Amino acid sequence: MGVFKTLAVIGLVSAAIGAGVLYSGLIEVGADVPHAAPVHALLETARERSIAVRARDIRVPGLADEALVRNGAGNYDAMCVGCHLAPGLAETELSKGLYPAPPNLSKVGSGTTAELWFPVAEGQAQAPDVADGNLPQQPRRAAILIVDDENLVRSATAAMLREMGHSVIEAATGSAALDRLNSGEHIDLLVTDYLMPGMRGSELAEDAQDIRPGLPVLLLTGYANLAKGEAAGLPRLSKPFREADLARAVASLLSEGRPQRGKPRLRSV
Ligand code: HEC
């Protein structure tokens, strides 16, 4: 019994001391004051665990949703730039003065680094499902104008089209593409990215069909929800696509010899 009593007294006394330390105001919680190592470790653990427990059920939303991304950017602008900055924004009192310092999220490479580890596979690699030999046949060789502002993506798509036997003209912007169309050059098919600075693929498609009525257009889009009705009549291929998907879409457009899609337009001559 004596032992339990002693333990209880020790417990009470330590609790009282703990409460006293808390109450004394000795512990600094200012956001710009470095903490003592044990306090830092305690806070760090509390924060990490708090995030880990609550993050379990969070589903990362699809970044293909343009409206959602725009909304998020607006929220970031309204709530986060003061501490985490944005491209072109000078440092602020908050971004400089806090401890720990807020990572500059506008800079590639700042912040926490995530690492992914993959097990090394044993044995033979399997051939991909669609071997090149199985690509859908193209009805004819065609002259294709490919438009994408991202050089890497454009040249990769162009390489696929060339591999299918087509001759390819590349343009990095909608207006460069319109120049090519205006030049009278022979073009059988326009393949264009949807989201480009300056002129969207859907706008380019309309203007292109003004210049060349009946020109078939294939819209490459990573964005599931174009504005309602936007480019409604246009065949599209969602990114990322495989070479076989592209070959199929292009082959079907070339064999249709389709009449002009979308609303007919009157042109003054
Ligand atoms: C008052 C300043 C402040 C504001 C406002 C703020 N943060 Fe932070 N944020 C911080 C600080 C400080 C850290 C670093 C904490 C640490 O390292 O322990 C941080 C960390 C982060 C991290 C973790 C970064 C990493 O790589 O570990 C993310 C992500 C983040 N904030 C996002 C946001 C978002 C999104 C908003 C707006 C909704 C926001 N923050 C608003 C101060 C702020």
> Residue 44 C-alpha to ligand 1 middle, in angstroms?
14
**Would you give per-residue pLDDT tens digits along the chain (269 residues)?**
688 999 999 999 999 999 998 899 887 777 778 888 888 898 889 999 999 999 888 887 777 888 888 888 888 888 998 999 988 888 888 888 888 888 888 888 777 777 788 878 787 776 655 555 578 889 999 999 999 998 888 999 999 999 999 999 999 999 999 999 999 899 999 999 988 888 889 899 999 999 999 999 999 987 655 655 666 678 889 888 889 999 999 999 998 864 444 444 444 43
Report the domain count for the chain. Answer: 1
Residues 6+ apart with CB under 8 A from 187: 143, 144, 145, 169, 180, 181, 212, 215
Q: Can you point out the beta strands (E) in 47-156?
A: 143-147
117 lies in some domain: no
Assess if residue 268 is contained within a domain. Answer: no
The verdict on residue 125 lying in a domain is no
For 151-193, what is the HEC assignment? HHHHHHHHHHHHHCCCEEEEECCHHHHHHHHHCCCCCCEEEEE
CA–centroid distance, residue 36 to ligand 1 (Å) = 21
Q: What is the pTM of this model?
A: 0.45
Q: Quick check: is 39 in a domain?
A: no
Looking at the domain assignment, is residue 145 inside a domain? yes
Domain-embedded: residue 171: yes
* CA-CA-CA-CA dihedral for 73, 240, 198, 160, to nearest 10: 160
CATH code for the domain in which residue 241 is found? 3.40.50.2300
- Among 75, 81, 83, which is best to mutate for testing ligand 1, by the most ligand atoms less than 8 A from CB? 83
> How many residues are recorded in the chain?
269
Query: Which residues span the domain enclosing 173?
Result: 134-256
Does residue 169 lie within any of the structural domains?
A: yes
Q: Whose CA is nearest to atom 40 of ligand 1?
A: 80
Which residue has a Cα nearest atom 6 of ligand 1? 80
As for ligand 1, residues whose beta carbon falls within 6 Å of it are 76, 79-80, 82-84, 94, 98, 100, 102-103, 111-112
Give, for ligand 1, the residue of 33, 35, 47, 80 to mutate: max count of ligand atoms closer than 8 Å to Cβ.
80
Ligand 1 pocket test target in 47, 84, 89 with most atoms within 8 Å of CB: 84
In a domain, residue 199? The reply is yes
